[in-house]
Chains A and B, each alone.
Chain A
Amino acid sequence: MLAFLLIIALAASPEMVTIGPGPAVAKNGGPVDVDVGRFLLDVDLVSRTDFAAFVGDHPLWRRDRARALFVDERYLADWASARAPGEDVDPAAPVTLVSWFAARAYCSAQGKRLPTSAEWELAAAASTTKKDARADPSFVAAILDWYGRPPAPLRANHRTQANLWGVRDLHGVVWEWVEDFNFALVKDGRSGDGGALFCGAGASAADPADYAGFMRLAFRSSLEARFALPVLGFRCAKDVLP
C-alpha cells in the first residue's frame, strides 16, 4: 500500500529543485530579515492536469463535494465539470480558483507542503543570473509591470525562463498561496478589523525599497483561507532531508 502510494506520488510529482542558502528575506513581512536555509521547491506551478488527478484520487475535494468550511463558491468554478478542467481551458496551465485549504491538501497528498512566505520570497528574489535581484531595476520593473497589467488567460507553464535556482514562473503568471499567508499583518489591514486588538506591535514593517515584496505582503494580507481567486495558484515545497 505504501509502495503504491509512493509510486503515485512520484508519478504525479513535478520536478523539484533545491533552493538556498540565499539572501535573507523578510519573514511574514516582519521587521527582521531571516535566513531561510535550504528547502525543495517545485520547478513549476501545479497545473490543472495535476490538480484533476488529485481531485480524482480525493473526491471530497471535487467542487461539488468540497466543504463550504474549506472553499468558497468560486472553487474550481472555471472547470467544465467537477472532475476535469474541460476543453475550453489549457489543461497544462496553472490551476487557480483553489483555496488555501485545497492547495495545502494537494501538497500534503504529494508528501509535500506549501512553502512559507520567506521560502517563497527567497526563491522569487532570484533572476536568471543573480540569487538576489531585488535591487536590479530591470528585474523589479518586469515584476511591477506584471502587477499592473490586467490578468491574461492562463496558458501552459514554462513561459518564463527558469531563474538561477531552476524555478519557473514565480513572477508573471499567477500569485501564489503560501503556508503562512495569514501571518501577514498590515496595519489597519482588513476592512472591519479597525478595532481589532493586536497583541504586540501589530504593524508590518516590510522594506519600502522592496515595493514588489510589499505588494505581495498586501495581497496576502487581503486573503482569506477559503478564497478561490482566478489569479491565485500555488506550488509545493518540501524539507531537505538532513
Chain B
Amino acid sequence: MIALSVAALLALAPTLPDDSLYLVEDRYEDQTGRALQLVSFRGEPVLLAMFYARCPQACPLLISEVKRVLAALPPAERDIVKVVLVTLDPVRDTPAFLRQTMTSRSLAPGRWTLLRSNPEATRTLAALLGVRYRAGAGGAIDHSSQIALLDRVGRTVAVRGDLSAPLESFVAAVVDAARRPASPTGP
C-alpha cells in the first residue's frame, strides 16, 4: 500500500542520493501500457511535470512551455533531455487516452513519455513536487503548474513554477544538467 518498500530502499541505497526522486518505487505505466518506475528515467536529465489529458487550458499551456524550453536548448543538449508528464487523473487518463494525447499534441515518443499511476502514488508524487491539486467542477482538476528539472540521478535541481518568468535561467539549468557528466555512482 505505501509507496516505500524497505527492501527497495535498501537495494537502492548505495547508488541514489538521499534526495533523489528515484527513491520512490511506485509503479507507473506509460502511454503504451508498459510498466515502469520513475527510476527507469535515470541516466538522462528529465523535465517532469504533472498534468491531465482532458485539461482545457493550463495543461496545453504547460506542454507549450515545455516545448519552448526544448526549443531554447542547443541541439546537442536537446537530444539528451527527456520529458515526463504524469497525469493527475489516473482513472480517466488510460494509456490509450495518453497515446491519443501524444498524437494530438505532436509529442515525439522518443522524447516524451506520458505516465499514470494509482491515486495514492499520484498524491505521493504531487507531494514530492509540491504540486497542489483538487477535483473541481465538471471533472476538471484545479492544479498548480510547474516543471521540475531532474538531474541524471533524480535530484530536483531547478523548478520552473512561474511560467511567466523569463526562460533563460531555467534553460541554463537544463543545459548545465545535460552537460554535467553522469554521477560516479550512476549507471
Contacts and interface: CB of A to CB of B under 8 A. Distances in A.
Interface of A: 28-31, 58, 60, 67-70, 100-101, 104-105, 108-109, 113, 179-180, 182-185, 189-190, 192-202, 221, 224-225
Mostly helix, strand, loop or mixed at chain A's interface?
A: loop
Contacts, number: 117
Contacts of A28: 134-135
Sorted from nearest, which 5 A-B pairs have the closest CB atoms?
Answer: A195-B162, A199-B58, A108-B2, A225-B127, A200-B142
Interface size range on B against A: 35 or more
A113 B164 contact: no
B72 interface: no
B31 interface: no
Interface of B: 1-2, 4, 6, 9-10, 18-21, 23-24, 51-52, 55-59, 61-62, 123-124, 126-128, 130-137, 140-146, 161-165
A197 B142 contact: no
B4 A199 contact: no
B57 A199 contact: yes
Given A198-B58, A221-B132, 18 more contacts: A28-B134, A68-B18, A105-B2, A109-B2, A180-B123, A182-B126, A182-B132, A183-B132, A185-B133, A192-B161, A196-B144, A196-B146, A196-B162, A199-B145, A200-B137, A201-B140, A201-B142, A224-B130
Nearest to B10: A60
A33 to B, nearest CB: 14
Contacts of B130: 182, 190, 224
Given A28-B134, A60-B9, A224-B130, A69 B145 contact: no
A30 B141 CA distance: 12
Given A182-B132, A184-B132, A199 B23 contact: no
